[in-house]
Amino acid sequence: MDFYQYVLDHQDELLKKAKELLQIPSVLDKFNPESDTPFGQSINDALHYMLGMAQADGFITKNINNYAAHIEYGSGKEIVGVLCHLDVVPTGDGWSNPPFDPIIKDGKLFARGAGDDKGPTMAAYFALKFLKEMDVELHKRVRIILGTDEETEWRGIKEYFKTEEMPDIGFAPDASFPLIYGEKGILTFDITGKTDDQSLVTFTAGDRYNVVPDYAECTLRVDLQDEFDKYLSFNGLHGAYEEGTYKVYGKRAHAMQPNLGINAAFILAQFLHEHIDNPFITFINEYLTFDHLGEKLRIDHFDDEMKEFTMNPAVYQYKDNEFKIGINCRFPKGWDKDNAFLNIKAAVKHVNFKYKIITDLPVHYVSKDDPLVLTLHQAYQKYTDDVDSELLTIGGGTYARSLKKAVAFGPNMPGRKDVAHQVDEYIYVEDLLKATAIYMEAIYQLSK
């Protein structure tokens, strides 16, 4: 069956629905477990948009207390899971077009969430919808599982699996083609402490552990305006001194590839280090600045298959001489975690700071020879004729790791720039349509 032609014949509906979903600003504001909308109204709106559409299309749906939900089609004992999420990271500044006003330009669909993960979620949904319309018989139950806080703490998907069956196999349309069979482990930790310096009043940067901060600001009790202006000008940096606040701008990027971003906190800390003696600022410069490999802390590692360890010092909060630095790391196979913890402990103890582990997720890995991997790879090759691109491992953490056997599968095509979490996020329309056909083929083959 030529699923791609069916997708092309019905692309207008898919793109219309994708735009409608992308218009919902589903950024987590505040988690409130006592509320009927635990992740906020906008994320709840996105969840109910999907459920309402699915119900109108005749699917079985189930809502788990607005924490997560699923859309189901097919019959049988076994379950194929397709794991998606509806929340998105904050937009940041500098968009060419409003981030929740989706627009197609130069063959690209621009909006926050276009590639991560509302565009791919719609591709997966329409893959199932089109199979249903074509009366394709599925001998397993296929569940599109909709998470609500994948970009933060995964509370939605954790709540879902407290009551719902674990799919036997599955995939997450939240990464790259041809297929992601291995995901690095994820370690998040905070460094906290106090200082007695009177020069620095406040220092703030970053709002998410999994995003390179593109903005940082501070206030001081000393006047460094002239020095700051010279620093920005000499280094060709973007920033400003406004009403007593020193501001600098960098570039957002996903924490799994911090080298693609410009950490604004590093820029500001480097400047301050030249003019004030503050242990918080000194620590940032000695152990963190412009080092995405963790070499300064002596926690770096390289694996031939999963590549380098990466580190993203993402969140900075300094006020009343107390501070927190939030750091997100992605580690490959073979990383000596115990030794790394000893080195981190030694670094913070040296200056009477403390560290606390926030999350510690293991490496997720499925053999390249596993039938799941082979089946999905064949589905990809059928609609791309790409037999050269190698299967991948990544530093990102997708919902695939929430299943015992699942992989990340698309939608980013080989050779395309990865713009997840960045300003002017987009997905090529051609890629979105082709991904839909690939997902149709994958679901069909996995459900035989």
Q: CA angle 140-366-80, nearest 5°?
A: 15
The Cα 127–Cα 441 span in angstroms is 8
Instruction: Give the helix/strand (H/E) hosting 238.
Output: strand 238-242
- What's the burial of 356, exposed, middle or buried (CB within 10 Å: 0-12/13-18/19+)? exposed
Q: Quick check: is 150 catalytic?
A: yes
Closest listed residue to residue 279, CA positions, set 364, 347, 374 = 347
Which candidate in 150, 164, 174, 441 is catalytic? 150
DSSP 168-227: SEEEESSEESS-EEEE-EEEEEEEEEE---SSEEEEEE-S-TTB---EEEEEESS--HHH
The Cα 196–Cα 179 span in angstroms is 51
Closest listed residue to residue 411, CA positions, set 446, 385, 438 = 438
- What's the burial of 152, exposed, middle or buried (CB within 10 Å: 0-12/13-18/19+)? middle
The Cα 127–Cα 86 span in angstroms is 17
Long-range contacts from 219-228, C-beta under 8 angstroms, 24+ separation: 219/244, 219/245, 219/246, 220/246, 220/276, 222/275, 222/276, 224/275, 227/271, 227/274, 227/275, 228/271
The Cα 312–Cα 294 span in angstroms is 9
Give the residue numbers annotated as catalytic, written as ranges.
Answer: 87, 150
